[in-house]
Amino acid sequence: MRVSLYLPLGLLGLLACQPENKPTTAPATMQVHDDLGRALTLPAHPRRVLALAPSLTETLYAVADTATIIARTQVDDYPAAVLRKPLVNSYPLDMERLVALHPDVVFTIEGITPPDAAARLGQLGIPVYYQKYRRVADVLRGINDIGRLLGRPAQAKRLTDSLQAQLNGLAKPVPGAARPTVLALASADPIYVYGQNTLFTDEIRLAGGQNAVRDTFPQPFPALTREYVLKMNPEVLLGGRFGKLDSTFFKNNPELRRTRAYQTRRVYATTPNLLQRPSPRIVEAVRELQALLRK
Partner 1 sequence: MPATHPGRWLLAGILLTLLLLGLGLRVGSYATDYAFIIKTLRHYDPTDPAQLVLVQLRLPRLLLAWLAGASLALSGYLLQTLVTNPLADPYLLGTASGASLGAIVAYLFFPALTLSGLYLPPLAALAGGLLATVLVVAIGSRRGRVLPAPLLLGGVAVGALAAALGSLITFLKADQGNLQVVVFWAFGSFERASWAVLGYPAAVLAGSLALLIFLQKDLNILLLGEERAQALGLPVARLRWLLLALVAALTGGVVALCGPVGFVGLVVPHLTRGLLGTAGRANLAFCAVLGGGFLLACDLLARLLYPPAGLPVGLVTALLGVPFFVSLLRKTS
Binding site for partner 1 (CB under 8 A): 75, 91-92, 112, 186-192, 221-228, 230-231, 233, 244, 247-248, 251-252, 254-255, 258
- 6 vs 228, beta carbon nearer partner 1: 228
Closer CB to partner 1, 27 or 114, in the complex: 114
Measured from the CB of residue 190, what is the shortest distance to partner 1 in angstroms? 6
CB of 281 to partner 1, least distance (A): 19
Question: CB-wise, 91 or 123, nearer to partner 1?
Answer: 91
Bridge partners, 105 (sequence order)? 49
Q: Report in angstroms how near the CB of residue 28 gets to partner 1 at its nearest.
A: 36
- Residue with smaller CB distance to partner 1, 99 or 245: 245
Q: How far is the CB of 18 from partner 1 (least distance, A)?
A: 33
Q: What angle do CA 191, 196, 198 make, to 5 degrees?
A: 90
Comparing CA positions, the residue from 56, 59, 58, 84 lying closest to residue 70 is 84
Cross-strand pairs, 69: 49
How far is 218 from 55, CA to CA, in rounded Å?
23
In degrees, to the nearest 5, what angle opens at C-alpha 56 toward C-alphas 184 and 236?
Answer: 10
**Minimum gap (Å) between residue 228 Cβ and partner 1:** 4
Compute how many other C-beta atoms are within 10 angstroms of the C-beta atom of residue 96.
14
* Nearer to partner 1 among residue 159 and residue 275 (C-beta): 275
* 6 or 217: CB nearest partner 1: 217
Cross-strand partners of 72: 87
Q: How far is the CB of 241 from partner 1 (least distance, A)?
A: 12
Would you tell me how many other CB atoms lie within 10 Å of the CB of residue 3?
Answer: 7
- Least distance to partner 1, CB of residue 232, Å: 8
Nearer to partner 1, 241 or 294 (CB): 241
**How far is residue 156's CA from residue 140's CA, in Å, rounded to a whole number?**
9
